[in-house]
Structure 1
Amino acid sequence: MPGYEKPRLRQFSSRSGVHAIIILRLFGTLLMSTVLGFSLNLIYLATHPLDSLYFSVYSTGLFTFWGLVLGQLLVPAAIKISDILDIQPKRFHRSHVSHMRMDRIRRSANYRNDRLSCCSLYELAVVPLQLFRRILISPWYWVTSAFVFSTFTAHVTTHSSTTLTHSHLPAHVYPSHTPSFRLRGGFDSDSDNESSDDCGSDRETSGKRKRKASTSAPRKSRKGKGRAVSEADSGIRVTVGKGKAQGLYVDEVVEIQSAPEYWCVPQSDARRAYIVDLTGSPECLESTNAPLTVDGFIKKQCQDSMTGPTGARDEGKLAEVLILNEGEGIPCRRSNLTCGGFYTCSFAEQGHPRGCARWDDDSEDVIAAPIRAAKSAEAKSLVAIATQFYESVMSKHCNGAVEEDFPCGGHAVLRKFLKGRSNGKAYFIGCSNWTKDDDITHRFTKIPAGVRESILRKLFRGEALSDTEDDVVTGPCTQITHSANLPNNKLCPRTHFRDGQHVRGALSKNKCPAKILILIPIDGTDLRAVVIPKAGTPHNHPLFPRSKVPFEAASKYKECIAATGPIGTTTLRVDKSSSTRNILDGRLPQEIHPSLINNRRRRDMVHKARLEKFPAGTGMQAVWTEFEKEKSRPPADRYIHAVNTRSDETHVIITMNPDLAALTLDASWIMVDTTFVVVHGKTNEWKLLIWLDGLEKRTVVGRVWSNRATREAFRLVWDGVFDAIQALTGHVLNFKVFDKKSSLLGALGDSEGAQAQGLGDVLILRHMVPQQIGGMIVTDVDIILMFIWKTCIVHFNRGVFALESYLDDLTFQYLLSFPHLETDAEIQEYYNFCNASSIPKLKTWWAHKKSYPWLLPSLNRQLSKINHDHWDLTPRDTNPIEGSHAQDNQVNSTNRSLIEAILLARQLDSDNARIIMASREFGIWENGNNSIRARFTSQATRQQRNRVKQAESAKSDSGAKKLRAKLKASEELARKQDLEIQSLRSQLNVGLAFNAQAQPPSTPRAGGISFYSLRRAFVHMLFSPFVASWFTCCWSLSTVSPFLTH
């Protein structure tokens, strides 16, 4: 995992080590100055009275201060001078290692790792000895010291008369050498000061300010209890009541044949009753689990969320409805339903939607339009985009595993890449429980390119954003949510910010006063109901989008699915099918009802139709179910003949059309191949193809579906094919070389060794091979295959073409010539050439060819034991079966489920068999231009066309080929030179290491002055920290000389 919870301090670096060494050397300089100062004061006190104690203290401080100042100034200056002059001293000093290029240092034989070296007390103790040794052996120190001492002495003597006139001056007239200064000790930290942003990922947003949810108060409406008995002349009596209220009256009765999507509310006190009669369409009550009731269907059709009790069936609580059968009372249960209302965001304006009163289904688009505007604005807001990504990653926990059976469950944190950036991003989303010892199963999410990291970092930290001044995220929310579409967390899907803080709006319910009364007969055979909306009480919300699919629209689309067929049906195929346009009179499914615009609605209906066709699914369980059905059919109608499974989850399914199986007995050869794109998953389709000489047509006679390509799996394949042919025809399929009565000359396939070996195993197990053939004992699979198997020459050429970039032209053309060699001498020369080759790719290719003893004979007519006439009568490539793959995929498409692929292949084979039977009966050929002569003519035309294309391609690629050859030669030369350089470097390093151990480093001689030695000596003098001590001593002596003379 390329990240940590927090950035960690780097280990002790070479730069930090150099700074530490510089401080230690400054400390040595300070110590040296102090020792010299105290020594001079002791000498002075021994020859002068004690009243000069103040001077000794003053001079000691003076020595110490100037030693420290000069050490700080001269040592860094010496480092810079050494860097500028590019000096390489005999021994590398630790104080300037970091100022030289590391690659140059590492190449040196005297390189010493600074991390392993440190200053010791011994080095501090030998400071005086090294100082005097350098003074004695180098004249440059004498000259420099004399010059500095003379300069400082002259300077002090010039000013001595004004500053120091006698030794008994009062203390307040002594010069002050205590300027304010501050030491800059310590290390220059090169670690990243930026703190990790992961710390803010664990913060909750519960402490952020939120507005209170604003709920619009429902309007009060008058309670309509129905008309009195005295008003019966002007009203229609609906029910028979008890007590003083003698029933319920309405002003209008409307009969309808289906339930509408919206119920219109009368604006006055005039009541309206709707009689819903479903007698003519009882299919609308069908459901997956149990049939719907009439009131259940009415509620399902309504786009408003109407909720309430279904009504009791007790005799004392039933209503006698009079308007259903012309005054005859029918006992009905009463279902009083109330509109479920709507939900608004807590950041919406007070009373939103303001002043809404809906009476009918004519309303402005005040719900979808604001939502569309908000989504469009959020798509253009960087803050909204980053916030949506933040909410997306925070809504899910990590799916990794801490232990084998223990889920992680960690939340998302923002981590920084350890090395550089990835796709321009410095951070990624990781798991809070991840450690460096865990595997890669924990969460790892890259930040999309459109998400700004600075905003995302603040969101994880819980910091306020300063760029949230647009109305997109700070304005009032206009979201209105249907109760059926309410999210589980009841949070607003829009992005909101208040005072720069990200907040989530809570969806609060708003009640709607609209009500309806449904009177349903208790007789289940009576498919009628009376619906009475409450008059004068409109809905207080606009029309919701028509997201529910009504029965009429669903019926139309199901009809389209049935016309397309449930096998292999997808939503796209149904929508684009020509039968769909015919059923819908040229309209699109999305145009018959707005709810079908949603892809999920149509996809659910297609999925339901497929479940009805395949209740056991579309995998192996469905295959077993279909196989059990096949057993109950007569053998002539069976298609699935065997289903073999193994404990390692290997499955082999044998399918064959009975009419096509009989054609194999007259075939001259069989051709086999595997296609990999038909079935979704690991299962592949293996085909058995023959050529019908009389009809001049290729035909796939058998198909096998397997998820393994091993030798054992192909044993099941071949054994199942021979069993199916024998069961359907009553004859055994065999090869002519083994049975003179058979017409099968040979088998042709690609270079797949397992399928050829599986065929040989089955021939032996089924005792189809005689013990001797032409005097040769046949007991081995490799020998059997030499008599019947041919390998496709196109597949052989593909393997050689894969080596083209590693071979020269002559070698490449020579390898391609193997299938055409005609003498044993030419074949032996080919063998010797490949065995002696030193090209790695060629050696690997040749080893594969020799690993199967039957493979090379199956490519060359001279090596093969197949009769030469039989060899010439069989094809040399598998182009016929390769062409059948494309044809079948064009008809049945690809990436199908297993059971659907089998059933579609069954239909295709059945159609093909019927065409062949009709062609045999009436003597009409499908392709009249497919005779032997016509095929030769077509081959010649194709060859000529390919030859022209190859010539044009060769002409255009000649220059590129030369460049590739030159590039290859240059790369080979560069590779050899790199190897030679590496060898010389290793030898040089070994020699230098030996010399460094055998001889100690020599010191430079004092004699012999040159420009280089002068420059080196001067830099050495400045670079040494002890020169600072010598300058300090000279300065101190020049300063105190007037006191000594006095």
Structure 2
Amino acid sequence: MERDTACSSPTAVGSDAGLGEVDEDLVLAGSTPNTDDDDEIRSIDGDVGEESGSEAGSDINSVDGDDGEMEERWVPSNTVWLDEGIHSEVLEPVRKMQITAKRCHVQRVERIKGGLPSYFPIPRVSTAFLIDLTGTECAKLTGEMDRLIADHEQESWYGATGKSDNKPQLSIFTGTKIPCRRNRQYCAGVTACERVDPSFLPIECYELDPDAFCDLVEAQINSRVQEASTVERKTTIFFQVVNTGACLARDNNGKRDGCTHFVSCSGWKPNWRDDHRSYNIPNGVDEELLIKLFESAPVEGKSLMSTCSRIVPSRVGLRASGNCKYPHNPDGSSSKMVKHKCKAYRTIFVPTDKTIRMACIIYKVGLAHSHPALPLSKPSKTAKELYRRCVEAAGIVGTTARSVEQAPSTQLILQGKSLGDVHPGLLNRRAQQKVIDKEKAKMFPKGRGLEGALALYDADQELPISERYVHGIEIHGSTKVIFTFNPTLIALIHETIQFESDGTFKRVEGEFDEYELTTWASGINSAVTIGRIYFNRKNRATYKAIYDGLQKHVGMITGQPIRFHALQKGGNIRAVGTDMELAELQGMGDSFVALNEPEHSKILDPTSEEIMKHISKICITHFKRGVHDLRSLVSNDEYNRLMNVPYLESEIAISEFTEWVKQKKSKKISDWWNHKLQAFILSGIIQCRSKMSAESWALTNSTTNINEGMHSFTNKHTGTKKSLVEAILSARKLDNEVAARLLLSKKTGILKNPANSIYDRMTRNATRHSSAARKKAEVSRLNQQIANCKKSLSDIRKQKTSRRSVREESSSSGRVPSASSSAKSARQSASPYPAPIYSESSNRKCYIATSIKF
């Protein structure tokens, strides 16, 4: 006869070996398998049969010779549970009961109420745990019962699900026989440091012990507190860090270094620095102790944490495998993380009818857990579902764990509770991120990278061009460029006299960066981002592709070409504001050469450099940032001369400055100036080098402050470190809102900020500059007064010292007093002496040598 392995260990036979009792004679006789008619269990919920009542709980067949007709009732159990709200009750009178066809017997039935537990005890007598979710919040969760139990439970189990086995029929759930499957499960154990405290591992854990649980949590907190509590420990940890992993550097033959590591890889050379690992020694790390560790010399005992409390569930065992992160060994070596097996075994009986929200769990008697109950690190499915609702309400696109937590909708859904109050596992940002990633995966089936962007492009092609946002994606070899424009905003390029452009660097995570085109929209007194282009290369060819695409898409969207005042008749754009990125300027020139109209521009033989001399305006703020790096190499006057380079008025002045740089004989200053002298750069900084008209130079901005300000505006409203698709979608939402406000302002005449006209801004700038100059002058005056005071006090001290050395004639007593031996004589030595000034702190008279007015 086939053995009922659901209720016994695969290797154990006999009445004491299984989950309940096993009929050994039937097993040995090889009789035929049981049929569905063999199961005689009836309901124990008191709702079925003529004998049911408020307290009549069960009509289960007894195997103790009882006639089964005595009154049964549920009474509170003495089982301790670790979950708040979970309690249980047992069926009395206690008697041996049959679960499956004379093979699986239990001596006790315990009904769990209040939801799904995070931990289950191992009973010392054969017990059937009954779980009934009918009418509870958990009943609304999707999934089969054994899956829900696993989602809520902190222990890790593995084994066959029983879906391909024969289906025993049990009446324990509904009073009528229903097919069930048997999910046979073995405890997966834990992974722990080899130096784990023996009071934690190995142990025999039957009942759930709140005190033992608290002891483990306290020990783990204490381990984190002591992890870097001494210099020796911190040094040992740093030693372990720099010895983890391998160096990625490869030589000319493609071979990896493979050497040992210190602050830098031992293969590091002055002529081969790229990719070698290197580390700065952090504060608190003792260099002498670090050298000892590299020389395999043991460090004193304060470096040791003799025992460890690091125990992790098997579900994270692979991530935790390897070495323990805590310092245990005096030679700096890492202790190993070791897998600890557990013999606990159980069977879950699950109705095949998924509408029946019940389950029965039977543990094998005598096989306790060999490890303690671990902290609630895994959020339950109920908690994850609640958090999923928070994510959905906060908005999936661009959302982060922080934005979900801070969203007002989260407080409403959680009814004022914190995430930790809902479930401790939700305190873990990684657990939160898993829920967020799952929702994003459902929303973006094509992914959040380039494939997802292509899907957005395909969807936009179904819309009229006036409603599209992703207008083009170009791929040239390894170069990828994505063009996104709001049609209303990009049309402003035909009204502006200048637009600015630069990469944003922060908003997109991964290989792509965002290139933001901005301008000042005078009609609504506001700075506006008119286009966003995403690209993955920063070379001349890529920037040419960017501006070629800009021209193409502006023409397609607006029906008009981009027109420059200096290059084309009737052109409106007088300048393009940029920083000093050479590849950007070169690529821009390569693209705009095609716009030249010789009869208007008088440029008969156009080159990229020549074109840029007519339209380029480089940010003076970016120029001065480079000068700040030279501050320590020059005097104050020389520093001012460097800062005033943009205001040189002639080629003669430029030549004189070049000669002065040569005389300085500073390589750093020479390299800085040679960079400015190269093509495309200086013509955008100094007016006398530019071929822009005086009017255009005066009318256009000398900084890219508008562009920098719009970077900040975008980051504030959309966040940073977004995936490519989320960056595009969040920017689309923002640009649509700005476009709607622009159209409304043009329609109604009402501006978001009416006090932002050129007059208002010029007034604020003038006031700001005047105030800054006044404060600077005040600081300079006060510094001079302080210097004068110090000098005067020094002079007084010198006078007093000099007078003490002068001796008067001897008195009749033979004494020869010093001329400044008393306070009175010291005061008389100062002529004229100033009026006293009272100190507010001491209320005493203080004297200084000169009168000062503050």
Query: If the TM-score is normalised by the length of the shorter chain, which range does it land in?
Result: 0.5 to 0.7
- Report which stretch shifted further, 828-837 or 294-303: 828-837
Where do residues 99-178 of structure 1 align in structure 2 (5 Å cutoff)? Answer: none
Residues 21 and 106 of structure 2 are in contact (CA less than 8 Å); yes or no, is this contact kept in structure 1? Answer: no
Q: Give the one of 707, 719, 724 matched to 2:553.
A: 724
Residues 346 and 507 of structure 1 are in contact (CA less than 8 Å); yes or no, is this contact kept in structure 2? Answer: no
Taking the aligned partners of 1:456 and 1:786, their CA distance within structure 2 comes to 58
Residues 265 and 360 of structure 1 are in contact (CA less than 8 Å); yes or no, is this contact kept in structure 2? Answer: no
Taking the aligned partners of 1:787 and 1:434, their CA distance within structure 2 comes to 47
Residues 770 and 778 of structure 1 are in contact (CA less than 8 Å); yes or no, is this contact kept in structure 2? Answer: no
Where do residues 618-657 of structure 1 align in structure 2 (5 Å cutoff)? Answer: 618-647=448-477, 649-657=478-486
Which residue of structure 2 aligns with residue 263 of structure 1?
120
Which residue of structure 2 aligns with residue 528 of structure 1?
357
The answer on 1:321 being equivalent to 2:170 is: yes
What TM-score does the superposition give when structure 1 sets the normalisation length? Answer: 0.56
The answer on 1:830 being equivalent to 2:660 is: no
Counterparts in 2 of 1:362 and 1:221: CA distance versus 1, 3 Å: farther
For the aligned residues, what is the CA RMSD? 5.2
Where do residues 190-339 of structure 1 align in structure 2 (5 Å cutoff)? Answer: 223-224=20-21, 227-228=62-63, 230-234=66-70, 242=101, 245=102, 254=111, 259-263=116-120, 273-277=130-134, 284-285=141-142, 293-311=144-162, 313-314=164-165, 317-325=166-174, 327-337=175-185, 339=187
Q: Give the one of 588, 596, 614 matched to 1:769.
A: 596
Q: Give 1:321 deviation, angstroms.
A: 1.6
Name the one with the larger helix percent.
1
Which residue of structure 2 aligns with residue 567 of structure 1?
397
Taking the aligned partners of 2:676 and 2:171, their CA distance within structure 1 comes to 93
Where do residues 509-528 of structure 1 align in structure 2 (5 Å cutoff)? Answer: 509=340, 511=342, 516-523=346-353, 525-528=354-357
Residues 263 and 533 of structure 1 are in contact (CA less than 8 Å); yes or no, is this contact kept in structure 2? Answer: no
Residues 240 and 319 of structure 1 are in contact (CA less than 8 Å); yes or no, is this contact kept in structure 2? Answer: no
Counterparts in 2 of 1:485 and 1:661: CA distance versus 1, 3 Å: closer
Secondary structure of the corresponding residue to residue 274 of structure 1: strand
Taking the aligned partners of 2:220 and 2:473, their CA distance within structure 1 comes to 55
Residues 358 and 538 of structure 1 are in contact (CA less than 8 Å); yes or no, is this contact kept in structure 2? Answer: no
Which whole-Å deviations, capped at 9, do the CAs of 1:404-431 have from their partners, x for residues lacking one?
Answer: 4555666x69xxxxxxxxxxxxx98977
Sequence identity, in percent? 25
Taking the aligned partners of 1:817 and 1:836, their CA distance within structure 2 comes to 13
Taking the aligned partners of 1:836 and 1:600, their CA distance within structure 2 comes to 60
Taking the aligned partners of 2:276 and 2:698, their CA distance within structure 1 comes to 61
Unaligned runs of 5+ in 1: 1-218, 286-291, 414-426, 822-826, 962-1046
Which residue of structure 1 aligns with residue 517 of structure 2?
688
Q: Give 1:701 deviation, angstroms.
A: 0.8
Taking the aligned partners of 1:402 and 1:739, their CA distance within structure 2 comes to 53
Which whole-Å deviations, capped at 9, do the CAs of 1:195-219 have from their partners, x for residues lacking one?
Answer: xxxxxxxxxxxxxxxxxxxxxxxx9
Q: Give 1:948 deviation, angstroms.
A: 0.9
Which residue of structure 2 aligns with residue 553 of structure 1?
383
- Report which stretch shifted further, 561-570 or 736-745: 736-745
Where do residues 772-791 of structure 1 align in structure 2 (5 Å cutoff)? Answer: 772-773=599-600, 777=604, 779-791=606-618
- Report which stretch shifted further, 724-733 or 593-602: 593-602
Secondary structure of the corresponding residue to residue 547 of structure 1: coil
Which residue of structure 1 aligns with residue 663 of structure 2?
839
Q: Which amino acid aligns with 1:906?
A: R
Q: Which amino acid aligns with 1:830?
A: A
What TM-score does the superposition give when structure 2 sets the normalisation length? Answer: 0.67
Where do residues 799-838 of structure 1 align in structure 2 (5 Å cutoff)? Answer: 806=634, 809=637, 816=644, 819=647, 821=649, 827=650, 829-830=652-653, 833-834=656-657, 837=660, 838=662
Residues 236 and 303 of structure 2 are in contact (CA less than 8 Å); yes or no, is this contact kept in structure 1? Answer: no
Taking the aligned partners of 2:428 and 2:20, their CA distance within structure 1 comes to 40
Counterparts in 2 of 1:937 and 1:232: CA distance versus 1, 3 Å: same
Counterparts in 2 of 1:717 and 1:335: CA distance versus 1, 3 Å: closer
Q: Give 1:330 deviation, angstroms.
A: 0.9
Residues 428 and 445 of structure 1 are in contact (CA less than 8 Å); yes or no, is this contact kept in structure 2? Answer: yes
Which whole-Å deviations, capped at 9, do the CAs of 1:930-973 have from their partners, x for residues lacking one?
Answer: 22332332222122112213323555778999xxxxxxxxxxxx
Q: Give the one of 400, 406, 410 matched to 1:580.
A: 410
Counterparts in 2 of 1:664 and 1:543: CA distance versus 1, 3 Å: same
Secondary structure of the corresponding residue to residue 753 of structure 2: coil
Counterparts in 2 of 1:594 and 1:880: CA distance versus 1, 3 Å: closer
Q: Give 1:552 deviation, angstroms.
A: 1.2
Residues 258 and 276 of structure 1 are in contact (CA less than 8 Å); yes or no, is this contact kept in structure 2? Answer: yes
Which whole-Å deviations, capped at 9, do the CAs of 1:737-757 have from their partners, x for residues lacking one?
Answer: 555444444444445555455
Q: Give 1:716 deviation, angstroms.
A: 1.7
Which residue of structure 1 aligns with residue 564 of structure 2?
735
Counterparts in 2 of 1:670 and 1:409: CA distance versus 1, 3 Å: closer
Which residue of structure 2 aligns with residue 706 of structure 1?
535
Which residue of structure 2 aligns with residue 910 of structure 1?
736
Q: Give 1:913 deviation, angstroms.
A: 0.5
Counterparts in 2 of 1:353 and 1:880: CA distance versus 1, 3 Å: closer
Q: Which amino acid aligns with 1:905?
A: A
Secondary structure of the corresponding residue to residue 752 of structure 2: coil
Residues 358 and 539 of structure 1 are in contact (CA less than 8 Å); yes or no, is this contact kept in structure 2? Answer: no
Q: Give 1:358 deviation, angstroms.
A: 0.5
Q: Which amino acid aligns with 1:332?
A: C
Q: Which amino acid aligns with 2:600?
A: I
Secondary structure of the corresponding residue to residue 744 of structure 2: helix
Q: Give 1:520 deviation, angstroms.
A: 1.9
Residues 748 and 792 of structure 1 are in contact (CA less than 8 Å); yes or no, is this contact kept in structure 2? Answer: yes
Unaligned runs of 5+ in 2: 1-15, 23-60, 73-90, 788-854
Provide the aligned length of Structure 1 versus Structure 2.
Answer: 702
Residues 342 and 512 of structure 1 are in contact (CA less than 8 Å); yes or no, is this contact kept in structure 2? Answer: no
Counterparts in 2 of 1:795 and 1:959: CA distance versus 1, 3 Å: farther
Which whole-Å deviations, capped at 9, do the CAs of 1:329-360 have from their partners, x for residues lacking one?
Answer: 11212334455566886886599777864068
Counterparts in 2 of 1:232 and 1:901: CA distance versus 1, 3 Å: same
Q: Give 1:635 deviation, angstroms.
A: 1.5
Q: Give 1:702 deviation, angstroms.
A: 1.4
Q: Give 1:551 deviation, angstroms.
A: 0.6
Which residue of structure 2 aligns with residue 951 of structure 1?
777
Which whole-Å deviations, capped at 9, do the CAs of 1:704-747 have from their partners, x for residues lacking one?
Answer: 23344444333222221121111111122213455544444444
Residues 786 and 858 of structure 1 are in contact (CA less than 8 Å); yes or no, is this contact kept in structure 2? Answer: no
Counterparts in 2 of 1:358 and 1:373: CA distance versus 1, 3 Å: same
Taking the aligned partners of 1:222 and 1:780, their CA distance within structure 2 comes to 88
Residues 203 and 372 of structure 2 are in contact (CA less than 8 Å); yes or no, is this contact kept in structure 1? Answer: no
Counterparts in 2 of 1:277 and 1:809: CA distance versus 1, 3 Å: same
Which whole-Å deviations, capped at 9, do the CAs of 1:371-427 have from their partners, x for residues lacking one?
Answer: 4455656655788777767776777566666884555666x69xxxxxxxxxxxxx9
Taking the aligned partners of 1:935 and 1:503, their CA distance within structure 2 comes to 63
Q: Which amino acid aligns with 1:334?
A: R
Residues 596 and 603 of structure 2 are in contact (CA less than 8 Å); yes or no, is this contact kept in structure 1? Answer: no
Higher relative contact order (CA 8 A, sep 6+): 1
Taking the aligned partners of 2:187 and 2:620, their CA distance within structure 1 comes to 75
Q: Which protein has the larger Cα radius of gyration, Structure 1 or Structure 2?
A: 1
Taking the aligned partners of 1:458 and 1:481, their CA distance within structure 2 comes to 29
Counterparts in 2 of 1:696 and 1:536: CA distance versus 1, 3 Å: same
Taking the aligned partners of 2:243 and 2:626, their CA distance within structure 1 comes to 51
Counterparts in 2 of 1:231 and 1:273: CA distance versus 1, 3 Å: farther
Counterparts in 2 of 1:676 and 1:273: CA distance versus 1, 3 Å: closer
Q: Give 1:574 deviation, angstroms.
A: 3.0
Which residue of structure 2 aligns with residue 195 of structure 1?
none
Taking the aligned partners of 2:659 and 2:328, their CA distance within structure 1 comes to 75
Q: Which amino acid aligns with 2:218?
A: A
Which whole-Å deviations, capped at 9, do the CAs of 1:511-551 have from their partners, x for residues lacking one?
Answer: 556x644222334x445343144598695665332222211
